[in-house]
Amino acid sequence: MLESFGASDPGCVRNNNEDTFLVVPATGLYLVADGMGGAAAGETASRIATDTLREILEEEAEEGMNPTKLITAFHEANRRIKAAALENSRLEGMGTTLVAAVETGGQLLVGSVGDSRAYSFSDGVLTQVTEDQSWINDIGRRLGLPEETLKVHPMRHVLTMALGVSEHLKVNLYTLPLAADMLVLICSDGLYNVVSDAEVAGVLKSGGSLERRTKLLIDTARAHGAPDNVTVVLLHQAG
């Protein structure tokens, strides 16, 4: 069983927190969802996604996890978010990112929609596991725009995929073998948009409990102004 800890913070600018996270060691489910939409819509979308994944994947836990079951859970979350928006006009246009990791057979099966991320940290090296479904990644880089331009481009925060937005949903899947003493970081863009990879690696390398390092990552984001909600889930595979 993985050691785990998660925390979320509204950041330095926003009064509400549209992020949700889940840490369920008993079923090996860990996730982060970053909601979007006016009023309480973003919070509602991320909560529906979180609750749906927990409900469906806990039902499947005894039979074992596979990619098809994880994709099915994502699609059901997408359906429920869209249905909720149709029932309540105040929730119209809501959506959420979702990155979920399920422990199975000595590895993590990771599903991702949007731009919340999963990273691995092993032997001092931080590696991004997931690929953003964003304008920058899907369009900007394919056009050959330089990274300096992409960092300030007006479309840089636009997602090309999110739950609750369309009937068409593409879930990216990844398999991450768990090595001895490996750390896995799951986070919303409120962390990596303001905290560099080098700073993240420095915190993870600093040692101490997962709680200490999780809170230090959030504090580092806040020290950089944290204009968005910041959510961090850390996992540790013992050696």
Helix/strand/coil for 166: coil
Percent of the chain with pLDDT over 70: 91
103 Cβ partners below 8 Å, 6+ apart? 1, 2, 28, 29, 30, 178
**Beta-strand (E) ranges in 49-165?**
95-96, 98-104, 107-113, 117-122, 125-128
pLDDT confidence of residue 158: 78
Residue-level pLDDT at 218:
98
Say if residues 96 and 46 touch (Cβ distance below 8 Å).
Answer: yes
Closest by CA to 178, choosing from 234, 238, 231, is 238
Reply yes or no on whether the pLDDT at 118 is more than 70. Answer: yes
Please tell me the predicted confidence (pLDDT) of residue 58: 87
One-letter amino acid at 236 equals H
Report residue 113's pLDDT band, with 50, 70 and 90 as the boundaries. Answer: very high
Mean pLDDT of all residues belonging to the chain: 92
Q: How confident is the model at residue 40, as a pLDDT?
A: 75
> What distance in Å separates the CA atoms of residue 4 and residue 38, rounded to the nearest whole number?
32
Question: Going by DSSP bridges, is the β-strand pair 117-122/183-187 parallel, antiparallel, or unpaired?
Answer: antiparallel
Identify the residue with better confidence: 120 or 144: 120
State pLDDT tens for residues 151-175: 666 666 778 999 999 999 999 999 9
Which domains does the chain carry? 3-236 (3.60.40.10)
